[in-house]
Structure 1
Amino acid sequence: MRNIYPCLVMSAAWSLTTILAEAQHAPSKQPTHRPALLRVGVGQSLNGTGDYKVLKAHLEYAPQLGRHWRLGSRLAYIGGNEPYEFGYGFTIPQSYRAVNLEQEIYWLPFGNNKTVEFSLGAGVTGSYAKLTSFSSAWVQDGEFGYSARYERGFQVGYIVSTGLDVALDQSRTWRLGGRLALQNDTRGNILPGAQLQLSRAL
């Protein structure tokens, strides 16, 4: 997961190569029109308080709206553990788990169903999350202690994103790409994230 950002840079370079190759070789057959994409994504995001990186995986249904728009309806899981290193050999367990429902609308300035698709998105998100952390910690008379902090509940917010993917076959049934996103919720934290995506046209 630590290499997600270099992977997205490589994806962008691959996209540029594909565009140049397509410009030199006109396609002999038009691909079948497919009105929707089913996407699976995996990558990283920050936890709900923005303190550490966690896994984010999602399943998305993205139907086409006209020539330059798509909807994106996603179910996402966000979770991970990151022990806090207090020092002196002491650690404090921390974990975060959340299930998100995310709805975006994408603008594709160069059009849908292209060999390379570039999108800008914005939308809303709602989640149910569970957080385990601490509010304070201390060492007194050689003994270590801390005040545990537990939170759970619903959060709502907004999300903005940019995405790029490339068709893997001439029929454009399969696509590989990535997305970068910024999310903000009722905690007031800006949470960046990045995921690789595999898409199938329906």
Structure 2
Amino acid sequence: MHNLYSCFTALATCALFPVTAYSQQPAAEQPTHRPALLRAGVGQSLNGTGDYKVLKAHLEYAPQLGQHWRLGSRVAYIGGNEPYDFGGGFTIPQSYRAVNLEQEIYWLPFGNNKTVEFSLGAGVTGGYAKLTSFSSAWVHDGEFGYSARYERGFQVGYIVSTGLDVALNPDRTWRLGGRLALQNDTRGNILPGAQLQISRAL
């Protein structure tokens, strides 16, 4: 009986040992928290429809997906105006205004939550825009004229971007960086422009 009890005790110890060893693994091996980012950005782009500068500002929520991916869901405002100089003292009014919802997915080849994050992104955009421009212009017998172009309504398109963020503190809760984006939609072609953005980890 004593030998049977000893064998039972030895088997129980062997069975429990893996559980005990697993529970005592260093905390560093446990999965780390990967925060989402709240980003605010502002900068300029060029309106390819009229080749003038427009303001672009955005607010973005960017959660992480695994080690090398991040989503970017944002609301963006794009707007600006600049008269077209036809020459001879003649000008034509031009303006572009849009409020968009934009969805991108970013690939970070060097990983998420690093001191320096580099990303390449692509996605879709949709919103409401107003465009004032012209399709043709002329001078006849000293009189200037042009064919005005007015558009307003919903739009859809695509967007591609590249970005670089640098952590501002050891905990990487604050980041400062910039992005370049090319946006093409049914109301205006926004050529590459630059936005400065600040991020806060949630």
TM-score (norm 2): 0.78
Partner Cα distance (1:131, 1:36) in 2: 35
Q: Distance in 1 between the 2:121 and 2:92 partners? A: 38
**Structure 1 unaligned spans of 5+:** 1-31
Give the Cα separation in 2 of the matches to 1:143 and 1:54: 31
CA contact (8 A) 1:111 1:117 kept: yes
Name the Cα RMSD after superposition.
Answer: 1.9
Q: Using the TM superposition, give the Cα deviation of residue 53 of structure 1 relative to its aligned residue in structure 2, in angstroms.
A: 2.1
* Separation (CA, whole Å) in 1 of partners of 2:82 and 2:117: 35
So what's the TM-score if we normalise by structure 1?
0.78
> Where do 5+ consecutive residues of structure 2 fail to align?
1-31
Per-residue deviation, 1:188? 8.5
For 2:47, the aligned partner's letter is: N
State the 4+ residue runs in structure 1 displaced beyond 3 angstroms: 186-190
Q: CA deviation at 1:34?
A: 4.9
Q: CA deviation at 1:47?
A: 2.3
Q: Contact conserved, 2:129 with 2:187, CA < 8 A, in 1?
A: no
Q: How big is the shift at 1:108? A: 1.1
Instruction: Quickly say closer, same or farther: Cα 1:99–1:49, change in 2 above 3 A.
Output: same
Report the CA distance shift for 1:50/1:112 in structure 2 as closer, same or farther (over 3 A). Answer: farther
Identity of aligned residues (%): 94
Find the counterpart in structure 2 of residue 183 from structure 1: 183
Matches within 5 A, 1:156-171: 156-171=156-171
Higher relative contact order (CA 8 A, sep 6+): 1
1:50 and 1:190 in contact (8 A); partners too? no
Larger radius of gyration: 2
Match of 1:73 in 2: 73
